[in-house]
Amino acid sequence: MTKQNNPLFDPKNRSAETSLVHGGIERSQFNETSEPIYMTSGYTYPESAYAEKLFKGEIVGHNYSRFSNPTVDVLQKRMALLEGAEDARALATGMAAVTCAVQSQVRAGDHIVASRALFGGCRFVVEDFMPRWGVSSTLVDGRDPENFLKAMRPNTKLIFIETPTNPTLELVDIEAVAKIAHAGGAKLIVDNVFATALYQSPLKLGADLVTYSATKHIDGQGRALGGLILGSKELITGDVHTFIRQTGPSISPFNAWVMLKGLETLPLRVRQMTENATRIADFLGDHPKVNRVIYPHHKSHPQYELAKRQMKAGSTLVAFEVKGGQEAAFKLADSLAVILISNNLGDAKSIITHPRTTTHQRLTEEVRLESGITPGMLRISVGLENADDLIADLGYGLDQI
């Protein structure tokens, strides 16, 4: 057969764009073009002996959608192809993914080291929840890998990082931190939402597990919540699968299907959003009413060298600090006509956030300032609108200050 001899028959020989359109698909007897939605909680068996074998794991098949569903399977396979991971699990939300990834790897008496600049929910899990279950944690300034080394203890089982961080877009050197983790007998989890799988590959840099909020760039159109955990077959089918199976943070087959449709256009959208973000970073960087712009691939980024080495592109988020503090920041945001005031990110619609009064309101002013979240700081998640319109919108806003 010629088709089977074609090198492109093997998904490993396909580019990301191709895998994101076709990867993991299993057509039903109707040979539909689009991925079918198997909106079912359970499955039936032709006979009792078949069920017995299935539950023993002697035959492969689905037995309950809390941990196994054909539509969710396609999403997992497609995402694993993109990430270059051996296996993946999809979950109900990004926070479900982070919580499962962390909890599946630790037990009472263990210790976690994490970078202090984290998405609010992630920080809460590490800083507040974990100690309640007897797992202590230390938060460090993630910009210098030495800080992770200094925080390691004999019982450190996990390092958890996010890079670039929210909202100040600081970077953590994944390769250096992976080495520190492994030398100390710990595993490394990287929350890769901001960079996306297209621009940063933590597993190749030594991470053991990667997590995503699929709510962000993967859906990217503000429709559904979702999350993913990716890693080696051993970790995913072992601790991670067991944790999901027994605690149930599962994604609905319908939402998994929405994410699959999102994956088909992910490269197109993220590339355009990144191009827009680059132009906005350049515009803000040169503006007299802006103190500083923060964008990983902008020359002014304090970790520009690392950004170039670790990320293929600067991705879709831009942070900046306006002169005049919170009053000026509010005035700017309130006079925008296209960019929306919201706190989501990775969306087709551009969004502006004032972290101090929203996403990072819970932190004390001291902790906020330590992480660079000043009163005049704003974060933009750059969308798919025309870049000239976005720049004109921001220009108008800056003129109002």
Applying CB under 6 A, the residues found at the interface with ligand PLP are 93-95, 98, 119, 121-122, 162, 166, 191, 193, 213, 215-216, 225, 227, 345
CA 345 to CA 266: how far, in whole Å?
14
* Least distance between ligand PLP and beta carbon 385 (Å): 21
* Residue (330 or 360) nearer to ligand PLP, CB: 360
* Least distance between ligand PLP and beta carbon 55 (Å): 32
* Residue (117 or 284) nearer to ligand PLP, CB: 117
* Least distance between ligand PLP and beta carbon 93 (Å): 3
- SS3 for the chain, per residue? CHHHHCHHHCHHHCCHHHHHHHCCCCCCCCCCCCCCCCCCCCCCCCCHHHHHHHHHCCCCCCCCCCCCCHHHHHHHHHHHHHHCCCEEEEECCHHHHHHHHHHCCCCCCCEEEEECCCCHHHHHHHHHHHHHCCCEEEEECCCCCHHHHHHCCCCEEEEEEECCCCCCCCCCCHHHHHHHHHHCCCEEEEECCCCHHHHCCCCCCCCCEEEEECHHHHHCCCCCCCEEEEECHHHHHHHHHHHHHHHCCECCHHHHHHHHHHHHHHHHHHHHHHHHHHHHHHHHHCCCCEEEEECCCCCCCCCHHHHHHHCCCCCCEEEEEECCHHHHHHHHHHCCCCCEECCCCCCCCCEEECHHHCCCCCCCHHHHHHCCCCCCEEEEECCCCCHHHHHHHHHHHHHCC
* Least distance between ligand PLP and beta carbon 400 (Å): 29
Beta strands across the sheet bearing 87-91: 87-91, 227-231, 209-213, 187-191, 156-162, 111-115, 136-140
* Least distance between ligand PLP and beta carbon 133 (Å): 20
* Least distance between ligand PLP and beta carbon 397 (Å): 24
* Residue (216 or 356) nearer to ligand PLP, CB: 216
* Residue (255 or 397) nearer to ligand PLP, CB: 255
Q: Within 13 Å, how many C-alpha atoms sit on residue 331's CB side?
A: 15
* Residue (156 or 166) nearer to ligand PLP, CB: 166
* Least distance between ligand PLP and beta carbon 257 (Å): 17
* Residue (70 or 227) nearer to ligand PLP, CB: 227
* Residue (213 or 353) nearer to ligand PLP, CB: 213
* Residue (135 or 259) nearer to ligand PLP, CB: 259
* Least distance between ligand PLP and beta carbon 364 (Å): 21
* Least distance between ligand PLP and beta carbon 94 (Å): 2
* Residue (71 or 115) nearer to ligand PLP, CB: 115
Nearest of 19, 34, 71 to residue 10 by alpha carbon: 19
Name the residue whose CB lies closest to ligand PLP. 94
